[in-house]
Structure 1
Amino acid sequence: MNNIDDRLVFRRGLALKNRVVMAPMTTKMSFFDGVVTTDELQYYALRSGEVGAVITAAANVQANGKGWEGELGVYDDKFIPGLSKLSSAIKKNGTKAILQIFHGGRMTNSTVLRGESTVSPSAIPAERPGSETPRELADFEIVELIEDFKKATERAIKAGFDGVELHGANTYLIQQFFSPHSNRREDEWGGTMERRFKFINDLVDGVTEIVDDSEVSNFIVGYRFSPEEYENPGIRFADTLYLVDKLADKPLDYLHISLNDFNRVSVSDDFKEHSMLKYVHEKINGRVPLIGVGDVRTRTDAEEVLKNAEIVAVGRALIIDPHWTNKVLSGQEQLIRRELSQFDREELIIENGLWAFLEGMMPDRLI
């Protein structure tokens, strides 16, 4: 088993001082135009210094990829100065800064996009209330999208980040290409599972080539994925094992599963014996490090994750107590703050958007 305080070195040379990373979580703290705010810098700085790395909230690589108000932008060079401040705020006491990059696809709306239509591989709306029917991307737009992910990676390098994470989870655009629900195309970008993987394959190759052809040292590339969809048709766990098997052979530095419970079991009858985390870890079979996540609150939880992963991501526990990592590593778990009240918000730099997120995700821990 991996130990929580073990050092880890990725294939591109970047070293983590321990196996704890801050999970990427929506903060809604950026300005309306995607520029980093002072509150945002302070929020991340407060939670840096103890964890091995911080993975930021998602930053959109195209203007029409904005998923919500208060989201980071990385689709233009104008964002580099603010992103440089963000990476510097995170990179203290050896903590590494990883910028998560994404495109919202059909999981946004024309109001957020200021009247512009949403886009997706196919003109199929998401199965959620109020969903809009997206415009199907043209072939040349798909190629441009990959180029914009590459340009976003270049900006992350210029801004001083230590890596990027491709956000292929939570039903956003990268996942939409792999999903048989959102991708009904009959060209080279869709149809069979192999063709639905093409966008991801080309995207990973393009981004890793940008990194390897640059002069940057120790800059890593990770990929986050969700294991299942509930739509019919949708991604099933067997499909995800295919995806993981393919990605584990790519020049990535890590894979990152998206789960709200690290013990979660698949809805598929064929995969009920173990947690999805364990099945994925077995499929990877040591080819690339795996980040496990899902309601980690204690050292025992973290150690359970590390039985089936090389790294553990901690989310809400770090929002509640920014010093969770140090208290766990020093054997002082009794000092960890476990609940939040409105009176804690100023101290912990929790703005309205993040508070609303917490109200929906963890009402049992708000007092």
Structure 2
Amino acid sequence: MNSKTPILKPLTLPNGAVLKNRLIMAPMTTCTGFYDGSVPSDLVEYYRERAGTIGTVIVECCFIDPKGPAFPGALAIDSDNKIPGLARIASAIKSRGSKAILQIYHGGRMVEPELIGGKKPVAPSAIAAPREGATTPEALTAEEVDVMITKFGDAVNRAIKAGFDGVEIHGANTYLIQQFYSPNSNQRDDKWGGSRDNRARFPLEVLEITHKMASRFADASFIIGYRFSPEEIEVPGIRFDDTMYLLEKAGGKGAWITFTSPWAISSALR
């Protein structure tokens, strides 16, 4: 899009999905979910009111695993019983002519133990986040990494069943997917860590299973997005050339649209 492109002009994505305009509501966290991540009625109305004029609404992040909520009041898509509530949100958005996209994520080492029953959070490596009081997470085993990828796929299937027009994979804001790609938080010595190719394996496998689920259970117009943070302040950390490398690979895994999510040291919920 250039300076002469009307922002209200329809946009056709490479997979044939048509957005009625270029206006997109970002996935802004409301922290209004019930204790188990279920959807409250007020949140359905919140999204209904914001749909309509805007072409696409990205619903705030939903955690894909019981150990995945990064903050209180987070929404969940970790089990089938969450589908009806999320379906109400999707229906409310689509009833006003907007596309409904659901963001999915896992908080990884950013999860506080009190949010998951006092258990330790999980991450690529047993390295605490660089913030005061951060808990040292448990490193996922190779088998658990495979299970985690499957859980992302299950979450995508639930989003499809709930009636969403697409999903956004949350690979930003220092959450689990970014943790795997970062040389700071990922210091594994197996196929999931070490070289840039190995560190990129997890986000790309998540995108691949997302594409497989969409191909199997949705039509060709199902939208797959990927959110990324372009750089990290840590040393070592993700740098811009790493990000460009990952985005090029992500396009080959069926990510039709990407979103940047700059992360500052003062950032809170994203």
Q: TM tier, shorter chain?
A: over 0.9
Deviation at 1:92, TM superposition (A): 2.8
Q: Which residue of 2 aligns with 1:15?
A: 18
Identity of aligned residues (%): 46
Distance 1:260 1:132, change over 3 A: closer
Q: What's the TM-score once normalised by structure 2's chain length?
A: 0.94
Structure 1 residue 210 and structure 2 residue 213: aligned?
Answer: yes
Structure 1 residue 88 and structure 2 residue 96: aligned?
Answer: no
Q: Which residue of 2 aligns with 1:119?
A: 122
Structure 1 residue 159 and structure 2 residue 175: aligned?
Answer: no
Q: Which residue of 2 aligns with 1:170?
A: 173
Q: Which residue of 1 aligns with 2:32?
A: 29
Question: CA deviation digits over 1:130-170, x for unaligned, max 9?
Answer: 21000000011110111011110110011010000000000
Match for 2:192: what amino acid? W
Deviation at 1:14, TM superposition (A): 1.9
Deviation at 1:120, TM superposition (A): 0.3
Task: Answer yes or no: is the 8 Å Cα contact 1:157–1:216 preserved in 2.
Answer: no
Q: Distance in 2 between matches of 1:198 and 1:11?
A: 24
Deviation at 1:5, TM superposition (A): 1.0
Distance 1:260 1:128, change over 3 A: closer
Deviation at 1:38, TM superposition (A): 1.2
Q: Which residue of 2 aligns with 1:332?
A: none
SS at match of 1:224: strand
Q: Distance in 1 between matches of 2:253 and 2:82?
A: 29
Q: Which residue of 1 aligns with 2:71?
A: 68
Question: CA deviation digits over 1:54-110, x for unaligned, max 9?
Answer: 111110000001111111110100001101101011113320000000000001111
Q: Distance in 2 between matches of 1:45 and 1:177?
A: 35
Match of 1:225 among 218, 228, 249: 228
Q: Distance in 1 between matches of 2:181 and 2:169?
A: 14
Q: Distance in 2 between matches of 1:200 and 1:135?
A: 19
SS at match of 1:75: coil
Match for 1:35: what amino acid? S
SS at match of 2:116: coil
Q: What's the TM-score once normalised by structure 1's chain length?
A: 0.70
Q: Which residue of 2 aligns with 1:77?
A: 80
SS at match of 2:92: helix
Unaligned ranges ≥5, structure 2: none
Decide which moves more: 225-234 or 86-95.
Answer: 86-95
Q: Which residue of 2 aligns with 1:38?
A: 41
Q: Distance in 2 between matches of 1:164 and 1:244?
A: 17
Deviation at 1:260, TM superposition (A): 7.1
Deviation at 1:216, TM superposition (A): 3.3
Greater Rg by CA: 1
Q: Which residue of 2 aligns with 1:269?
A: none
Match for 1:52: what amino acid? G
SS at match of 2:108: coil
Q: Which residue of 1 aligns with 2:144?
A: 141
Task: Answer yes or no: is the 8 Å Cα contact 2:51–2:97 preserved in 1.
Answer: no
Distance 1:195 1:21, change over 3 A: same
Match of 2:58 among 17, 35, 55: 55
Task: Answer yes or no: is the 8 Å Cα contact 2:173–2:263 preserved in 1.
Answer: no
Question: CA deviation digits over 1:309-342, x for unaligned, max 9?
Answer: xxxxxxxxxxxxxxxxxxxxxxxxxxxxxxxxxx
Match for 1:58: what amino acid? C
SS at match of 2:67: helix
SS at match of 1:197: helix
Number of aligned positions between the proteins:
264
Decide which moves more: 237-246 or 72-81.
Answer: 237-246
Question: CA deviation digits over 1:271-324, x for unaligned, max 9?
Answer: xxxxxxxxxxxxxxxxxxxxxxxxxxxxxxxxxxxxxxxxxxxxxxxxxxxxxx
Q: Distance in 2 between matches of 1:107 and 1:215?
A: 32
Q: Which residue of 2 aligns with 1:282?
A: none
Match of 1:4 among 2, 7, 24: 7
Deviation at 1:171, TM superposition (A): 0.3
Deviation at 1:116, TM superposition (A): 1.2
SS at match of 1:12: coil
Structure 1 residue 192 and structure 2 residue 183: aligned?
Answer: no
Unaligned ranges ≥5, structure 1: 262-356, 362-367
Deviation at 1:45, TM superposition (A): 1.2
Deviation at 1:242, TM superposition (A): 1.4
Deviation at 1:248, TM superposition (A): 2.6
Structure 1 residue 244 and structure 2 residue 247: aligned?
Answer: yes
Q: Distance in 2 between matches of 1:79 and 1:244?
A: 31
